[in-house]
Amino acid sequence: MDRSTLPYRRNCEGYFFTNDGKVLAKDTKKGYLVFPGGGIDKGEHADSAVVRETFEETGAIIQLPIKDLETVQFIWDENWARSEKQKRRYKEYKGEEMHFFSGKIKEFTKNEEQHEDYWEGEKLMPISKAIKIIEKEKPFPENMKVYREAQLKFLNQINNT
């Protein structure tokens, strides 16, 4: 199958932080972190999608406007797909077009419609800890290199301001 003709999946990810130097991130306990975000619906703007996804996943309300950091494209290799959901996506898309954003968390509220991706437990961690967890993955696997390097760049920028 010629994967080069497949489209990129439009996706978004946010680095949302508190005034006391914490970032919204979930430690998977599998050596990597998850930041809020997800697929961008047809006709939806990327910035609206990341605010929506963040609320759905964490209950966090984000202060507007948010900062558009960068958009990167990367192609998935054959080892990318682990879950059934990812295996289905691998057949439909060649990779991701990831839209990255940052901003401040205004408050947390209870999301009554907790869906499958809702984060239980601790949702905030020191930005410096998030950076250390990602750096432990070095050298990054080739299929994740562009993505992980972008994550580190943005977290270091936030940490240094």
Tokens in use for 156? 């270091």
Give me the pLDDT at residue 11, please: 96
Q: And the tokens for 42?
A: 């047809």
The pLDDT of 146-152, averaged and rounded, is: 93
> Cβ distance 104 to 60 under 8 Å?
no
Give the tens place of pLDDT for each residue, 81-116. 888 989 999 999 999 999 999 999 999 987 666 667
Q: Residue 113: its pLDDT value, please?
A: 67
CATH 3.90.79.10 fits 8-159, yes or no: yes
- Six token digits for residue 67: 């900062």
Tokens 């250390």, residue located: 132
In 3D space, the residue among 119, 120, 154, 117 whose CA is nearest the CA of residue 134 turns out to be: 154
Boundaries of every domain in the chain: 8-159
Q: Can you give the pLDDT at residue 16? A: 98
Confidence of residue 143 (pLDDT cuts 50, 70, 90): confident
List, in order, residues 6 or more apart from 50 with CB less than 8 Å away.
12, 13, 14, 36, 37, 66, 99, 101
